Amino acid sequence: MVPINVLTYETHQPVSFQPQRLQGTLEGRPLTISHLEKIKANRILVLVDTSGSMEKKLPFAKAVLQVLIENFPAGSSVAYGFFGKEQQLTRGFISDPKQFAKALVELSLQRAQGRTPLRDALHQGLKLFKPANPGDSVLLITDGGENSSELRESATEKELRTSGVRVFAVVPLVAPQAITPPEEEFGPQWLTSVAEKTGGRVFAVYHDWPYMDKKWLQPVAAMLQNFWLNGVAGGYLLNVELPGSLTKTANLKIRIDTSGDKHLKDTSVIYPQKLMPCSSAATAAAH
């Protein structure tokens, strides 16, 4: 099964569509889409960056967590953690919103300090998903900076691709004209690339941190809610019939036919861009 999302570009709202409008290819060969079902529940790991570069942005990180806690996805289970000078991670996933609310209390006790081991944090977090289920997701709240991980980009990307876990991120950034350190300038680009490859998405928020007011935060919170419920916790599982045996990683392309339907023009189809090989016995069930 392949997890996909069909959302609007700007507001991350779900778009209604007819399943037959979806078209897919694998290495250029047409795919037959046999079944489409909504993701009713998945596991989500929320990782909050508490490194020194997030000092002015931690109030926003707290506001994001508040939105997530107030809109706990029905049927889903959540784990959470923090990474910066030290890494902290819950032992497993919880389905009680009151337990998840503790994340906000714990974040209030965190100090923004140290360098940013973003890739190492992803590596540790992925261990919670073994084995992963289609639709499982990681949500990062980070400025995207990276300057202290032991793992290289290529190793992290391979691990994510193999795991099948989607990567989403809420990325608070300074205004484009402001001067930013190199790790914050190029880090978000890598994070955006990883999210797209795994079937996730990045929600970037440009602002003059740490100042926030209710008038500014209200529409941002509404978009965050959409991003959380319809993106990270939402989407569909797509059953496809492979054109042949899959013995190596293959390029997957899925598009939606927008002809004759104006409300589909402002949409994006989000899905893992690589399909991993699986055993012949498991092919039908897995894909």
Query: What is the residue-level pLDDT of the chain in tens, covering all 287 positions?
Result: 899 999 998 889 999 999 999 999 999 999 998 889 999 899 999 999 999 999 999 999 999 999 999 999 999 999 999 999 999 999 999 999 999 999 999 999 999 999 999 999 999 999 999 999 999 999 999 999 888 899 999 999 999 999 999 999 999 998 766 666 655 555 689 999 999 999 999 999 999 999 999 999 999 999 999 999 999 999 999 998 887 778 888 999 999 999 989 889 889 999 999 998 863 323 333 34
3-state secondary structure (DSSP) of residue 89: strand
Residues 6+ apart with CB under 8 A from 153: 119, 190
Name the nearest CA neighbour of 89 among 133, 142, 47, 138: 47
For residue 96, give both structure tokens. 């009680």
pLDDT in the model for residue 281 = 28
pLDDT in the model for residue 34 = 86
**How many Å apart are CA 232 and CA 46, to the nearest integer?**
10
H-state helical runs in the chain:
58-70, 97-100, 102-108, 118-126, 153-163, 182-198, 214-226, 283-286
pLDDT in the model for residue 262 = 87
Name the nearest CA neighbour of 137 among 201, 90, 187, 215: 201
3-state secondary structure (DSSP) of residue 212: coil
Q: What is the pTM of this model?
A: 0.93
**How many Å apart are CA 46 and CA 41, to the nearest integer?**
16
User: At which residue do the structure tokens 């996909």 appear?
Assistant: 4
Name the nearest CA neighbour of 139 among 90, 68, 84, 187: 68
How far out from the chain centre does Cα 42 lie?
12
pLDDT in the model for residue 180 = 63
CA-CA distances (angstroms) from residue 161 to 43, 128, 150? 17, 16, 19
**How many Å apart are CA 174 and CA 152, to the nearest integer?**
26
What single-letter amino acid sits at 212?
A: M
Name the nearest CA neighbour of 199 among 167, 247, 241, 154: 167
pLDDT in the model for residue 182 = 59
pLDDT in the model for residue 127 = 96
